[in-house]
Amino acid sequence: MEITIQSIDNICIIGISGRIDSTTSKNVEKALNNVIDQDQAKVIMDLAGVDYISAMGLRVMLAALKKHRQKQGELKLAALQPFVKEVFEVTGFNKLFSIHVNREEAVKSLQL
């Protein structure tokens, strides 16, 4: 798994590649919490490189969403691969998260 963090126009973009499962979800949780704790108001998780997400990965993302909303922040997802998108739809998480086709669309939605 690889996690990259960059900033574009005061928007924090967390790029993740690999699998988000019980082993790697701790790394994702740490990265998300670090960004949220630094009071980054606008965060995008670019999941273009993620081909699998487990229930533990979903739990980590939901916890981050709740924590970020408590701080009045916005957390958006971008570029979900077919399997990951299906998992979000089956679990109903697609109704909880703002999901965008790609990183650029997510950035534009936060620049309004």
pLDDT tens digits along 57-109: 999 999 999 999 999 999 999 999 999 999 999 999 999 999 999 999 999 99
Residue 107 lies in a domain: no
Q: Residue 20 falls within a domain, yes or no? A: yes
Q: Give me the number of domains the chain comprises.
A: 1
Residues 71/42, Cβ–Cβ less than 8 Å:
no
Task: Read off the pTM.
Answer: 0.93
Which alpha helices (H) appear in 1-112, and where do they start and end? Answer: 25-37, 55-70, 82-91, 103-111
Q: Which CATH number do you get for residue 56?
A: 3.30.750.24
Would 106 be classed as within a structural domain?
no
Asked whether residue 110 is assigned to any structural domain, the reply reads no
The contacts of residue 66 (CB under 8 Å, 6+ apart) are none
Within-domain flag for 85: yes
Residue 112 has pLDDT above 80, yes or no: no
Give pLDDT tens digits for 8-20.
889 999 999 999 9
Whether the pLDDT of residue 23 is over 90: the answer is yes
The whole domain housing 45 covers 2-101
- Token couple for 47: 């999941």
Query: Is residue 46 predicted with pLDDT exceeding 90?
Result: yes
